Each structure stands twice: as C-alpha cells, then as structure tokens.
Amino acid sequence: MWLRDSAEWRTVLLIICCYFFWGLMLLNPFGVPLSIQILIIIPLITLHSSLQHECIHGHPFVSEKLNDAIVIMPIGLLVPYLRFKETHIKHHQNASISDPYEDPESGYQELEIWEKRPEWVKTIFNFNNSLFGRMLIGPTLSVIGFALYEYKNGEQKTILIWLMHFVMSGLVITFIYVVSDMPVWAYLICGYFAYSLLMVRTFLEHQAHESMRARTVIVEDKGFFSFLFLNNNLHVVHHAYPTVAWYKLPDIFQKNRQRFLEMNKGYSFKNYAEIFKLFTFSQKEPVAYPFTPKRPNAGKAKSASKTVNANQG
C-alpha cells in the first residue's frame, strides 16, 4: 500500500486541492480581479508550506521520494524544500531547541555577538521581534540570512540544491508569465506575504527557557490559522510525536491537555487573536540568547552564528 495510513487520503486530497485552486487562480477562467487573486493565492502558498512540512515528516506516502516529489516545486519561490527538509530534521533531532548554534531554526543571537552589533542593526532585529515587524521584514531577513549562511557554509550538495531551486523557481515564474493574466510582480508579492503569513506561526513557537520542555508552545486555536498551519499550532504535541499526521494532533492534545500544559510549563495561548493583541507592536522577548549557548569550536564559531533563522518548522 502506498499510503502510510488509510486516513492519509485527507493529506492527499488537501495537496490536490491546494494545487488545483492555485492553478485555478493563475489560469483565472472566471476573470477574478487581481486583488482577489492575490488574497487567495497567499494562503494557498502558506498551506503548501504546511504540506511540505507534513511530507518531511513522512506523510502521506510510505515512500520518502514520493513525498518529496509532490511538494518540491517551489510555488512560494523563497526557500529550497530540500534544504528546509535537512535543517528541519536537524531541528527535531536536536535536544537544545532555541540554542543559536545547536538549533538551525533558532531566531536568537549569542549575547557576545549581539552586543557588538551596530545600533541600527539592533533596531532592525528588535523591530523584527514584534509580530508586525516579523510579518513585514521577517521574510527578507530570514531569506537573506539563510542564504548567506548557506553560502559561507555550503558544501557541493547544498550548492546543487540551491541551483535546482533557482531552476524550478524559474519554471514557476515562466509558467505564470506564459499562462496567467497575473503579473509576475504580483506573484512575487504573493510569495513574500505567504511567507509572512507563515511567520505568524513560527513567531513564538519556541522560546528560550531553562527547561527544555518549556521551550515549545501550545496555541489552542481551532480556526483559520489552525487549518492553515495543519494543527502545527499545537507545537508541543508535534514535537512529542513528530511522525503523527496533522489530523490526529487535536485529538491527542485534547485527551492529554493537562499533561502537555504541565510539560511545557504553561507556555500557551488561547488563539492567534491573543497573540496579535499581545505582540503586534511589542517584542515577545530579547533577541539575545539568555543562556550560554553550545558554542562550536573557534574555527567554526563565526560561520555557525546565523544572521537570522529560516524558520518554518
């Protein structure tokens, strides 16, 4: 049987629907206004990112290659799927979540490095630590920081993945230019703000805390965002059971709610409305990592310190 679980038809159907409506909006047979096209395509690209995350964790098929093949096309343009996959797996295998050296998805910076930053750089990153700032400039900082990190530390395999990504992104843009009435500049806006929308989830899903168990969030949302993020707002459940499919996470959480809340020491929010209310224009926490990080040896230390994470996870 190709499917990992008989219920994985849900994931397959969702992937088909995602591509179908994405293609429908680009072909636009009904003459939908450009503004509506943009407003629909943005969350579709964000949903595609969430589906990429599902495929990384072994869904919906038994075959890893098949899972990769169905989501590798970069309709969001900004991040190579195979590099996202590699760093995200490392993120899950790493016990030191949020450590700026150990965790590839950490958004923190080592205190010693942070204190040497120019004031204008600190201002930018402090702004980025508000939700409004994260959504506005976060995609730019994330992609540039990730690309620079990859360039400095890139092996031949990494370079080839990026080259393949550029080729596939070019194919996506060419497809849009040839068959769609949507201008390429409008689609670039869609790709940017789809990543921006994704950052609503990644904004605070991990925190620096003395207890490793308290570093992963629970957002008890059951609306638009929970669907868009495929229940990954229940992030502590996902980290406890990383191979469990998205549609099973709410039931696991509800049956063990108190245990999870005790495990992560109450790092939880009722919904994303509460998060917007608290952090739209306020910093969630300092950029500097408050603990001593697991610094690599001196020869690697400088290159290992990422400017900012490419966090999707």
Helix count and strand count (H, E) for the chain: 15, 2
Around 86, how many Cα atoms within 13 Å sit in the side-chain half-sphere?
Answer: 10
Predicted confidence at residue 75, as pLDDT, reads: 97
Tokens 């409008």 -> residue:
186
Q: Does the predicted model carry a pTM greater than 0.85?
A: yes
Distance CA 122, CA 193 (A): 24
Average pLDDT over residues 43-69: 97
Whether residue 139 contacts residue 195, with contact meaning beta carbons closer than 8 Å, is answered with: yes
Question: Does residue 282 lie within any of the structural domains?
Answer: yes
Question: Does residue 309 lie within any of the structural domains?
Answer: no
> Each residue of 261-280: b (16+ CB within 10 Å) or e?
bebbeebbbebbeebeeebe
Which tokens is 222 given? 């059951």
- Confidence band (pLDDT; 50, 70, 90) for 9? very high
Higher model confidence: residue 45 or residue 297?
45
Amino acid at 17: C
Higher model confidence: residue 1 or residue 162?
162
- Confidence band (pLDDT; 50, 70, 90) for 1? low
CA geometry: angle 1, 52, 148, nearest 5 deg: 140
Tokens 């964790």 -> residue:
57
Predicted confidence at residue 27, as pLDDT, reads: 96
Predicted confidence at residue 92, as pLDDT, reads: 85
pLDDT in tens, 174-211: 999 999 999 999 999 999 999 999 999 999 999 999 88
Question: Does residue 232 lie within any of the structural domains?
Answer: yes
Domain residue limits at 274:
6-304
Mean pLDDT of the chain: 90
Predicted confidence at residue 313, as pLDDT, reads: 53
Predicted confidence at residue 298, as pLDDT, reads: 42
Query: Which of helix, strand or coil describes residue 288?
Result: strand
Question: Does residue 240 lie within any of the structural domains?
Answer: yes
Predicted confidence at residue 97, as pLDDT, reads: 87
Nearest to 142 by CA among 96, 70, 199, 59: 199
Question: Does residue 312 lie within any of the structural domains?
Answer: no
Question: Does residue 313 lie within any of the structural domains?
Answer: no
Predicted confidence at residue 138, as pLDDT, reads: 95
Higher model confidence: residue 313 or residue 7?
7
Q: Is the pLDDT confidence value at 35 over 90?
A: yes
pLDDT in tens, 83-97: 999 989 888 887 688
Q: Is the pLDDT confidence value at 308 over 60?
A: no
To 10 degrees, the CA torsion angle through 108, 112, 113, 117? 110
Residues making up the chain, counted from first to last: 313
Question: Does residue 310 lie within any of the structural domains?
Answer: no
Higher model confidence: residue 12 or residue 301?
12
Predicted confidence at residue 20, as pLDDT, reads: 98
pLDDT in tens, 246-305: 999 999 999 999 999 999 999 999 999 999 999 999 998 999 999 888 776 544 443 333
Tokens 């990383």 -> residue:
242
Nearest to 132 by CA among 7, 265, 245, 277: 277
* Residue % of the chain over a pLDDT of 90: 76
Higher model confidence: residue 150 or residue 178?
178
**DSSP-assigned letter for residue 206:** B
- Confidence band (pLDDT; 50, 70, 90) for 155? confident
Say if residue 60 is preceded by a cis peptide, omega within 30 of 0. yes
Q: Is the pLDDT confidence value at 158 over 90?
A: no
Domain count, the chain: 1
Question: Does residue 158 lie within any of the structural domains?
Answer: yes
> Each residue of 223-247: b (16+ CB within 10 Å) or e?
eebbbbbbbbbbbbbbbbeeebbbb
**Rg, C-alpha atoms of the chain:** 19
